[in-house]
Structure 1
Amino acid sequence: MTTLQRAMTAPSRRLAAVDGARGFRLVVKPGRGETYGLTIEETFGEVGSALATAVATLTPQQTGRVVDALFAAVRRSGHRPSVLTFTRRAPIRLAEPDGVRLTLILLATQPIEKHQRVRALVAGINAMSTEETYYWYSKCIGVDANRARKALRTLLSDN
């Protein structure tokens, strides 16, 4: 029996719908001293059996520049801001809209050095509607992600 014949006669597995929604989680990466970096992961599925993929990773220096946006996302997802510590081991789950907005902020501000421009980008993204953040998130993760991120930065800041 050839490989093709075995594949055709083998019982096929059916894909089952997963009960659960897309979400996000923050993974704290300890830095030097009491600093920490972050990885934000997009998840799909239930908490115990969730599929996850890293979307953005920040160094401790990059994390410090957007700490207000981090605290806001954590707070809106039902956590206290005190869960963000350099000793944190368990991931912090974020609601989908908060995760999309925070990821968009992280992707847009990651290469920026000027604090004034970072603040302008964060303020611009926070002023967007939920639908706008989903649109820009899909563009900034998609095929032409670098071009979309540059367009977003140009749109939201004058510098």
Structure 2
Amino acid sequence: MTSPQRAMTVQSRRLAAVNGVRGFRLIVKPGRGETYGLTIEETYGEVGSVLATAVVTVTPQQTGRVIDALFAAIRRSGYQPSVLTFTRKAPIRLAEPDGVRLTLILLATQPIAKRERVRALVAGINAMSTEETYYWYSKCIGVDANRARKALRTLLSDD
């Protein structure tokens, strides 16, 4: 075996699949007083070896506008809403469909100031099927994310 062929053999390695499921975790970021912001991370793998990446971070003001959707996602993931406090240190694990829906809500409503428009966006996303939320989630974090988010906002609100 000549050295260039050997070097080629050494460099070609197979990628290993990550064992485990995709999920989401909610991290509470304390604000002023008893307020809190949030970071949602998309995770891969099990508790021992988790790969995570932050998908969206929102301020305490933005959190307050979508608190009902936040509580609904927490309930559907098997928690009581009381686990969500400004002093919480441990992340809250969300089931994949609930994490996708909540993240999509936060991404769509993040730049919006009008409360009526925020409500329309939240109601529109909550009315979507699970498959639709996965589709829009993939678009809203993909290459043309800003255009996709604008398209989603236009689709779901009358403005």
Question: Taking structure 1 as the reference length, what is the TM-score of the superposition?
Answer: 0.92
What is the CA–CA distance in structure 2 between the aligned matches of 1:133 and 1:16, rounded to whole Å? 29
List aligned pairs for 1:1-159, cutoff 5 A: 8=8, 14-159=14-159
SS in 1 for 2:150: helix
* Cα separation, 1, equivalents of 2:108 and 2:55: 12
**4+ long deviations beyond 2 Å:** 4-19
Query: Percent identity of the aligned residues?
Result: 88
Cα-Cα RMSD? 1.8
Letter in 2 for 1:131: E
Q: 1:136 to 1:9 in 2, by over 3 A?
A: closer
Displacement after TM superposition at 1:16 (Å): 3.1
Q: Alpha carbons of 1:109 and 1:11: their partners in 2 closer, same or farther (altered >3 Å)? A: closer
> Alpha-carbon deviations, 1:89-140, whole Å to 9, x = none?
0100000000000000000000000000000000000000000000000000
Deviations 1:5-41 (A, max 9, x none): 8855758765433221100000000000000000000
Gaps of 5+ in 1: none
SS in 2 for 1:41: strand
State the Cα distance separating 1:153 from its structure 2 match: 0.2
